[in-house]
Structure 1
């Protein structure tokens, strides 16, 4: 609904400008009863009530309506975490702990990870699980015409068609074993991007299968100046690990570089600029993408959340937000700072990259119980 999105944007703008009562009125008087817009506006109303009106009981009501209206791990984790905060502020420790525990049951999600940190739960074993162990050759779909078509398309280099057929086949599944087997097939034919899209379909069906939901793309996860887990998180969010991806805006390849940015970075690196190689040569794309990400990290003092915001929306906008909202490396709460980002796409992007960072740290064996909150703003976090 266009008006619901507009209402949320106006409420957020009013909140950023200090017009808290107006902001709450805009968010809460939405007259919706269900659906995604209902959940988004109920969450926003709760956030404004908690952070702006200092009314945790009212906030909890909104967060409860939101969490009861959603199904995905991201949304369940978000609602549960903020219910935990609201009840904590209201002095109800038992309910606060209960909702933090519920949120932490979704450890692939940004807020699920923050909730796990709150209650001291180590979720790394869950994130590091190797669980796509179903042999696709013995699966029910192994002799299907669809799988044979996928194999022929892959042999013919029809990469986009392969992805679409994988998605179509995955949409017919309900059982975890089928998703795991198809994701394993995608990995076996060298298509981690196919594994991601199957993994996302599985997650929508209630099956989180780490091997395919967060595959390790070796061309991204090795070499260069960037922590491998961060590079993998960026590539998964940017392109779903698809080396041939081209966005509607024209961003290209695994790391989704705009041609102008790629040209500048290649000049800085002293390498030849090649537009075709951005989608035709994954190693070239990753080299330039990692170099650009390193620039963003250097510009923002190693703060990964700011570097991610800059990678998505541009360093100029990230600088503007620091100037307007405050600096999350200093006094301002970094989680609230992310929620204040004016662009919905960038808010979502930063959260997805940060959750992916911790998933990939666990999968690479590199996360030594690092603080999820510290990782947002500290170079060594």
Structure 2
């Protein structure tokens, strides 16, 4: 609360803690934090003043983390020369925490800097919330500070640490150790994560020399559904309502919500056969996004033909080859952007299978020597042609690096460039994990996972690590 400047909450909680902070004191600091720092050394080192120091530092950091860092460095140097320190250990640690969190909020504008890792390291104690631990680990991953990666993950709650994401990064950290025992542990952790086929599972497979094989999960073969299970789908009130709404003039949103509820009920009842039968029926009628949703929201069902369909295959392959890009990557983008809903439209105006913004469509049409037409740009065939051309265009502008180009497709090429390392190259998984926008960070992971699966389905299998490669320095 002190860091965020939540005045009312600070007053209420400080009172309950037995160290009430008056509104007047907070208001005075809000107006002029510098004046507080000037007199801080002349006042008693009370618990209330410790709180007020952090509040003042937080207000300075809101405007400039750099100015706040200079202030803290000055105060600590002065404090170290005194017989009795004014800043206790807890205050010092949390002051550094304020700097670390603020620094991570400015990565896109100011670039990444290892000082964030150092500030978090100086703030180490047992009281990290998830936001703070995640900021710490992202900074440590970015700069290959593997001991700090271990420290940061240890500050997360036990269940969070068990996720594939953090098990993978813990293994990455142990892999760098000079201790043979830890390197052996890393290998065992990779083998466990590799049982999954998500983004981290695919990365882990590469680490232990395994290969993702779509044929083991059915490949392009649709699952066989019995007549009894097909009948059960329409006897189920939730799925029956979903299909009725889909076939009516009602908003697609109503049908989607009913479908999602039907999938949840079937999943809770562990009725995988019902889910597969419903997903197959949705697939057969072209309701691909709900077929994908059904398979993605089960723990034990694997059917790549349903979860990773390949509509418009001839167009996707033809236009991808014309644009000089991998068709598997094009499918990876398309699946993430629209789930193959031709009429998809985002709240910012992106449209079609490839979710192209009107301004981008005009740019593409101009470079292709065509007149712009909104209806044509949003149509299936033209939208695929425009989207694959734009992917090739971004790829060429971003070092022919697919991870950079994927980030650029979502957040714009300029942001993707800003996130590149200043000096030297960076492993692509480290680049992705430290992308400053959470939406883009997750988007790139999903697209790379999708593309790896599609490459196997298309008979052009490429391991995810090879696909992602290395991110070069910006220039």
TM-score range, shorter chain: 0.7 to 0.9
Equivalent-residue separation in structure 2 for 1:50 and 1:228 (angstroms):
31
**Residue of structure 2 equivalent to 1:211:** 305
2:328 and 2:458 in contact (8 A); partners too? yes
Shift of 1:53: 8.3
SS at match of 1:171: helix
Q: Structure 1 unaligned runs (5+)?
A: 33-37
- The 5 Å alignment of 1:149-168 reads 149-156=241-248, 159-168=252-261
Correspondent of 2:274 among 159, 165, 178: 178
Q: Structure 2 unaligned runs (5+)?
A: 5-96
**Residue of structure 1 equivalent to 2:397:** 299
**Structure 2 vs 1, CA of residues 10 and 207 (structure 1 numbering), >3 Å: closer, same or farther?**
farther
Equivalent-residue separation in structure 1 for 2:368 and 2:203 (angstroms):
37
Shift of 1:117: 0.6
Shift of 1:170: 0.9
1:79 and 1:103 in contact (8 A); partners too? no
Bigger Cα Rg: 2
**Residue of structure 1 equivalent to 2:112:** 16
**Residue of structure 1 equivalent to 2:317:** 222
Greater relative contact order, per chain length (Cα 8 Å cut-off, separation 6+):
1
Stretches of 4+ aligned residues off by more than 6 angstroms: 26-29
Equivalent-residue separation in structure 2 for 1:93 and 1:301 (angstroms):
33
**Residue of structure 2 equivalent to 1:289:** 387
Shift of 1:63: 3.4
**Residue of structure 2 equivalent to 1:85:** 172
Shift of 1:358: 0.4
Shift of 1:230: 0.7
The alignment status of 1:197 with 2:319, answered yes or no, reads no
Correspondent of 2:468 among 358, 372, 376: 376
Equivalent-residue separation in structure 1 for 2:156 and 2:435 (angstroms):
21
Shift of 1:187: 0.7
Range moving further from structure 2, 156-165 or 97-106? 156-165
1:153 and 1:162 in contact (8 A); partners too? yes
Shift of 1:166: 2.0
Shift of 1:357: 0.9
**Residue of structure 2 equivalent to 1:35:** none
1:22-71 deviations in Å (ceiling 9; x for gaps): 14467977544xxxxx3x65455445456658453x64364367594249
Equivalent-residue separation in structure 2 for 1:114 and 1:255 (angstroms):
26
Correspondent of 2:428 among 334, 340, 359: 334
**Residue of structure 1 equivalent to 2:197:** 107
1:111-169 deviations in Å (ceiling 9; x for gaps): 22111111101222467534752527522333234444444444346544433332221
**Residue of structure 2 equivalent to 1:76:** 163
**Residue of structure 2 equivalent to 1:310:** 408
**Structure 2 vs 1, CA of residues 374 and 27 (structure 1 numbering), >3 Å: closer, same or farther?**
farther
How large is the RMSD of aligned CA atoms in angstroms?
3.4
TM-score by length of 2: 0.66
Aligned length: 358
